[in-house]
Amino acid sequence: MQENASGKSRQRLIDEYTEIARLAGALAHEIKSPLSTIRLTMEVLTEDLDQPETERERRTLNMARTVVTQCRRLESILNQFLMFAKAPAIKTAPSDLNAEVRSILDFYQEKAKQKNIEILTFLAPELPPIQLDKNAFGCVLWNLINNAEAAMKDGGQLLVRTYLVPDGVALDLIDNGCGMDAQTLEKLYDAFYTTKSNGFGLGLPTVRKIIEAHGAILEVQSELRRGTKFTMRFPAPAMIGSGKEDVLEQLRRELEEEERSDSESGSGVRMEIRSQDLE
């Protein structure tokens, strides 16, 4: 009875959170439209005042440019918030984790050279396929790579590795950047918490929501002046072989029961079940 009440309470909280998220998303959409109008209007004004002749016009131009800059910042915050609110809506398909990682790292190589970042990859061969939404996973990986890049302002090393774990497949991203203190780690996934001067604090909360929507786990370890390690643990689909053995064992039990019944009734029919019969 207590477990049932606890389950209902948990579901009620989930439903309330879902409704709040829906309303917040609708509010963000409503704000975006007039905000865009304000920005476009001020951009036209800055064009009209592109060559100010008086002190008043110069002052007006500077204020108009400030409004345009802040409108763009607010639009970026709203776009990230909307992505944060929609993060769990993903569509997965069996995917090769190594192939997805290689594709993104190949695209990042040129920028890594410019930032003096050495990428080290250790991708385990013959990993089982996992369920991925490739677009959403791409956003996750790009976000974590950008965070690692920001933590290595003077360059460094980014280690990317995949490997098997008992219940699936894991992916590590390890940088030797500035690292994080305990206070930052504690608030890492809080919406709108950021240590970046130009950040909005929605990147990592969105990353975690996307990872959890995959049925996966996101872990982080960090130490100041030593670096940060993010680990994603994805569940592997159930192997067909194990399911076949379960069916085989069930058939054997059923036939043994039938054989006992036949013996008791005088019928001595015997059948042998082999693995290849189920293939």
Q: Does one domain contain both 23 and 146? A: no
Cα-flanking dihedrals φ and ψ of residue 12, to 5°? Answer: -65, -40
Maximal C-alpha separation, the chain = 114
Q: Domain boundary residue among 39, 60, 86?
A: 86
Q: What's the whole-model pTM score?
A: 0.61
**Per-residue confidence (pLDDT) for residue 34, from 0 to 100:** 84
Task: Quickly list DSSP for the chain.
Answer: -HHHHHHHHHHHHHHHHHHHHHHHHHHHHHHHHHHHHHHHHHHHHHHHTSS--SHHHHHHHHHHHHHHHHHHHHHHHHHHHHHHHHTT----EEE-HHHHHHHHHHHHHHHHHHTTEEEEEEEPSSPPPEEE-HHHHHHHHHHHHHHHHHH-TT-EEEEEEEEEETTEEEEEEEE-SS---HHHHHTTTSTT--SSTT--S-HHHHHHHHHHHTT-EEEEEEETTTEEEEEEEEEPPPPHHHHHHHHHHHHHHHHHHHHHHHHHHT--------GGGG-
**What is the pLDDT averaged over residues 142-163?**
93
**Per-residue confidence (pLDDT) for residue 127, from 0 to 100:** 92
Q: Does one domain contain both 100 and 201? A: yes
Asked if pLDDT for residue 247 goes beyond 50, the answer is: no
- Retrieve residue 9's tokens: 């309470």
Higher per-residue pLDDT: 4 or 267 = 4
pLDDT band, very low/low/confident/very high, at 22 (cuts 50, 70, 90): low
Assigned domain for 227 exists: yes
Q: Does one domain contain both 48 and 125? A: no
**Per-residue confidence (pLDDT) for residue 106, from 0 to 100:** 94
Q: How far is 222 from 184, CA to CA, in rounded Å?
A: 10
Q: Does one domain contain both 219 and 260? A: no
Q: How far is 234 from 248, CA to CA, in rounded Å?
A: 28
Q: How far is CA 129 from the centre of its chain?
A: 17
Assigned domain for 47 exists: yes
Q: Does one domain contain both 129 and 163? A: yes
Q: What is the pLDDT of residues 215-237, one digit of tens each?
A: 899 999 998 889 999 999 999 87
Q: Does one domain contain both 66 and 172? A: no
Under 8 Å between Cβ of 156 and 176: yes
Asked if pLDDT for residue 267 goes beyond 60, the answer is: no
**Tally of domains in the chain:** 3
Q: Does one domain contain both 15 and 146? A: no
Under 8 Å between Cβ of 31 and 78: yes
b vs e for 176-202, b when ≥16 Cβ sit within 10 Å of the residue's Cβ? bbbbbeeeeeeebbeeebbeeeeebbb
CA angle in degrees (0–180, nearest 5) for 222-133-151:
25
Asked if pLDDT for residue 6 goes beyond 90, the answer is: no
pLDDT band, very low/low/confident/very high, at 24 (cuts 50, 70, 90): low
pLDDT band, very low/low/confident/very high, at 261 (cuts 50, 70, 90): low
Asked if pLDDT for residue 26 goes beyond 60, the answer is: yes
Percentage of the chain beyond pLDDT 90 is 33
**What is the pLDDT averaged over residues 238-264?**
51
- Retrieve residue 98's tokens: 């190594």
Asked if pLDDT for residue 82 goes beyond 50, the answer is: yes
**Per-residue confidence (pLDDT) for residue 236, from 0 to 100:** 82
Q: Domain boundary residue among 62, 86, 110?
A: 86
Domain boundaries, position 264: 246-278
Q: Does one domain contain both 68 and 106? A: no
Q: What is the pLDDT of residues 28-57, one digit of tens each?
A: 677 777 888 888 888 888 888 888 888 888
Q: Does one domain contain both 143 and 23? A: no
Q: What is the pLDDT of residues 177-209, one digit of tens each?
A: 999 888 888 887 776 656 665 555 667 888 888
Assigned domain for 199 exists: yes
Q: Does one domain contain both 100 and 229? A: yes
Assigned domain for 214 exists: yes
Assigned domain for 240 exists: no
